[in-house]
Amino acid sequence: MSLGLIGANGSIGTELSFLLKNDVDIIPITRNQLGSIFLKHHGFSCRVCDVSKKNDAKTHLSDLDASVILSYATDPYSGRQTRSSQKINSDIIKNTIKFSRKNSTIIYFSTIRAFSKDIVPNTSNFWMKSGYEKEKINLEKLVLSESKNNNKRAFILRISQVFGDNQARTNIFKSTLSKQKINVLVDPEKKSNIVHTVTIKDAILKCLSSKSIPGVYSLTNNPQWTWREVIDYYKKSDSIIQYNLKSNNKNNNKSLIQHDNSFFWNLLKSNKKFIKPFLYYVSSKYEPQIQKKLSIKKMSTAISDLKNKKSSHVQEYQNIKSYIDNNDKDHIDKNKIFKNLSDNLSNKDIFSIEEFDFNTIPGPFLNNLANTRTLLKNIHLDIF
């Protein structure tokens, strides 16, 4: 069974390449040479192919029994969705489905955010809705329609936070939870929606089985872990964890300023927070102009901040040293040495992430997934 991983150089794709290599004939597909280097170094037969281009897709996908689409293009300047990046994303899906082998299986990775407000409470409405969320919803629809038209089996897997050896999030959890005392702002019994890469691998293999029914599925650890289970899994054995529910202060939602009719350029000059969602809708011919306005705004703000800085002065390092040595602590006012000198160990850390607010992801889920904890016990990647 040949399985192409499109976007294999991303953090999930890279880890899946290693996890799947003994189960299928894995073919990592990267858009460029640079992206393939790490995998090639570890002996993978990578294909360098821009799937958004018809000819490339035709040449490199036609022998594949299955394709997993992990790539997701964004605008390189803003990191958001623009008309150009939307076209790349839809071309990747169309070409993958069209040019992969007859009867092949397509697996597309989507997001929990496709559930919108039901699951992700702070989701905005109308055009302020994030480009990521809107784009994923549109791309899901495209996968379903294209696979139907081309008679291919398509699975859409909606995922939330991914954990694994090559996932930056895992390291953040490990490092935060290695502190002495951590105040975690979540209900520990709330279900977390997280998924480990070992379960993603398991889900891919289940999708390849002819017994699985194509469709849209939610994918989490099996069974779903509570936040307490996640924290316990990653905390240091001697770390003290205290759980607190978040205070109910709603974020001070900044009121949106109503602009008058010089709307367009005033908007661009005002605040990139408002501009970026706009990029999703604007015609691609205006993209460079918007990028220019954003870049100049960024530069002029940086320059004006710089002009307000104090001139260089030699700091009182001797006092810092004395303070650290504990020689003279009673006589030194720390604030006079440095406003921001802090005792690293005395602070009790507060740990809170956006996903603590997410509601439990509804199904349907794939059947017969293995227990994630068992899978984790049996896997040891010494690569990353």
Partner 1 sequence: MKIGIIGSGRMVSSIHLPLLSCIDDVKIEFIADRNNPISLSKMYNTKSIQIDKIGNLPKCDIILLAVPMGIKEKYLYELIERDCHIFAEKPFTVDLASHKKILKLSNKITCNYVRNYYDTTRNIKNIISSEVFGKIEKISILEGGINGKTGLSKNSYQNNPELSGGFLKDSASHTFSQLDFLFDNIFLQEASVIWENGFDVETHAIFHVNDSFSIDYLGTQLKNIEPSTTIVFENYEIKFNHLIPDSIFTISSLNTKKKFVLQHESFFGSTFAQAYYLKWIDFLKKVSSSSKMDGEIETSITTTRIIDNIMEKGIKK
Footprint of partner 1 on this chain (CB under 8 A)? Answer: 7, 9-11, 14, 31-38, 40-41, 48-50, 53, 56, 76-77, 166, 171, 288-289, 291-292, 295-296, 298-300, 302-303, 305-306, 309-315, 317-318, 320-321, 323-326, 338-345, 384
Of 261 and 302, which CB lies nearer to partner 1 in the complex structure? 302
Amino acid at 89: N
- Give the shortest CB-353-to-partner 1 separation in angstroms: 19
Q: Scan for tokens 């290695």, then name that residue.
A: 178
Distance between CA atoms of 191 and 105, rounded to whole angstroms? 31
CB of 378 to partner 1, least distance (A): 22
Q: Provide the minimum distance between the beta carbon of 305 and partner 1 in the complex, in angstroms, as a whole number.
A: 7
Task: Report, in Å, the least distance between residue 363 CB and partner 1.
Answer: 30
- The H or E element containing residue 98 is helix 83-99
Nearest CA-CA partner of 68 in 91, 47, 48, 93: 93
CB of 366 to partner 1, least distance (A): 26
Least distance in Å: CB of 14 to partner 1? 7
What is the rounded CA–CA span in Å between residue 199 and residue 140?
A: 21
The answer to whether residues 107 and 157 touch, using CB atoms and an 8 Å cutoff, is: yes
Which one, 338 or 356, has the nearer CB to partner 1?
A: 338
**Least distance from C-beta 236 to partner 1, angstroms?**
16
Q: Which is nearer to partner 1, 53 or 228 (CB)?
A: 53
Q: How many CB atoms lie within 10 A of CB 73?
A: 20
Of residues 250 and 309, the one with the C-beta less far from partner 1: 309
Sheet with 2-6, edge to edge strand ranges: 47-48, 25-30, 2-6, 66-69, 105-111, 153-159, 215-219
Closest distance of CB 333 from partner 1, Å: 15
CB of 139 to partner 1, least distance (A): 17
CB atoms within 10 A of CB 193: 24
Closest CA to 100 of 146, 49, 57, 71: 57
If residue 2 lies in a helix (H) or strand (E), which one and from where to where? strand 2-6
Rg (CA), the chain: 24
The token duo for 53 is: 């281009």
| DSSP H or E stretch at residue 27 | strand 25-30
In the chain, the largest separation of any two C-alpha atoms, in whole Å, equals 79
Which lies closer to partner 1 via its Cβ, residue 213 or residue 383?
383
Question: Rounded CA gap, 173 and 383, in Å?
Answer: 19
| Pick 46 or 107: Cβ nearer partner 1 | 46
Which residue do the tokens 């289940």 mark?
206
The length of the chain in residues reads 384
Residue nearer to partner 1 on the CB measure, 198 or 207: 198
Q: Which is nearer to partner 1, 125 or 340 (CB)?
A: 340
**How far is Cα 181 from Cα 130, in angstroms, rounded to an integer?**
35
Give the Cα separation of 330 and 323 in Å (integer): 9
Identify which of residues 1 and 296 has a Cβ nearer to partner 1 in the complex: 296
